[in-house]
Amino acid sequence: MKYHEGVLLQIIFYTLLWLYDDYVGLLICVVMTAIMAALLLFSLVVELIEKSKVPRSYFLWMLLSIIPPVLVSLLFLILSEGQFEWMNQF
């Protein structure tokens, strides 16, 4: 799969989550961004300590996996003007 196809599929997936429920979409986007960023950081640190045979495409995929949930979250944050339905229930 090409990089742009993977990013497009992720954007579609996260957008569908946000359209289903903004609370679930926000949680999944935040959690996935944190997990992918932590894995990328850990992989880079390990790679600096000891070289491995991991291809550079792995690091690019990890970096590109961080971008879609952030973009979709920002898009829905701007569209909803920061007022989510679940915030009004309290």
Angle subtended by helix axes 3-20 and 56-79, to nearest 10: 30
Cβ-based neighbour number of residue 36 at 10 Å: 19
Report the run of H or E that residue 74 belongs to, with start and end: helix 56-79
The answer to whether the CB of 30 falls within 8 A of the CB of 74 is no
Q: pTM of the full predicted structure?
A: 0.84
What is the tens place of the pLDDT at every residue in 9-27? 999 999 999 999 888 999 9
What is the tens place of the pLDDT at every residue in 55-82? 888 899 999 999 999 999 999 899 888 7
Is 90 exceeded by the pLDDT of residue 37? Answer: yes
* Confidence band, pLDDT 50/70/90 cuts, at residue 35: very high
